[in-house]
Amino acid sequence: MTAREKMVEQNLGLVHACASKFKNRGVEYDDLFQAGCVGLLKAVDGFDESLGYVFSTYAVPAILGEIKRIFRDGGTVKVSRSMKERSREIWQQKNLLSERLGREPTLTEIADFVSLSVSEASQLLMVFQPVVSLTSPEDEAGKQFDIPVDSEEEKIAERLCLDQCISQLSENDRNIIKLRYYKSKTQAVVARELGMSQVQVSRREKKILKEIREKMSV
């Protein structure tokens, strides 16, 4: 296994975490996950460890960007003639696949059928999607796209709960969390600053995060 493959495998949990935020939004979870994997691969290829940043800080925006790409409505954007022609071809292939399967194919199945990535297939399919109001009345729900939007109230509540959990930690544990997740320092850098070994920081960090998750899930 190459270093690249190992890094991807170790961070698949990030993709699952990001994809889970978009569940029940009208797109198959498998498609969300595959799009997220595209973002993870881009993050792995573009990450520079020497800058001292935590990989997740760099990777999550890339993963979310690829997932959100699926939800973009191409009808609101000017597209070239060649793009429209490719879109027509994709829709024809989609209809052909529907007939073969006897049901509506998933985005992943369509992408595989036309030998494109999930992101490319979704973009082409959305070129001819009608523009839909995000404030459509409920009786038009069948025509409506559910675009994920985080609730500000939920964000505030989660942040307050997180702050409370962190305030209850010992000074050393608070410093570990502050340096790792607020200042985006690597475990090696945190270990040097706190006079610990990287192994000690890693073990302690895992224990702290587990305690915080348990408290926030109550």
The pLDDT assigned to 156 comes to 54
The pLDDT assigned to 161 comes to 66
The reply to whether the predicted model has a pTM over 0.85 is no
**CATH 1.10.10.10 matches 152-216:** yes
User: What does the pLDDT profile of the chain (218 residues) look like in tens digits?
Assistant: 678 778 888 888 888 888 888 887 777 787 788 888 888 888 888 888 777 667 877 788 888 888 888 876 432 334 466 777 787 888 888 888 888 888 888 878 888 888 887 767 766 776 554 433 333 444 444 444 343 444 444 555 566 667 778 888 899 999 999 998 888 888 999 999 999 999 999 999 999 998 888 776 64
74-131 shares the fold of 1-72: no
Look up the CATH number of domain 74-131. Answer: 1.10.10.10
Query: What are the structural domain ranges in the chain?
Result: 1-72, 74-131, 152-216
Look up the CATH number of domain 1-72. Answer: 1.20.120.1810
Sign, CA torsion 169/172/177/183: positive
**Residue at 78: amino acid letter:** K
Q: Which residue has the tokens 């699926």?
A: 70
CA contacts within 13 A on the Cβ side of 94: 19
The pLDDT assigned to 194 comes to 94
The C-alpha atoms of residue 162 and residue 109 are separated, in whole angstroms, by 40
Alpha carbon separation from 17 to 46, 100, 101, 125 (Å, rounded): 21, 34, 31, 26
The pLDDT assigned to 59 comes to 83
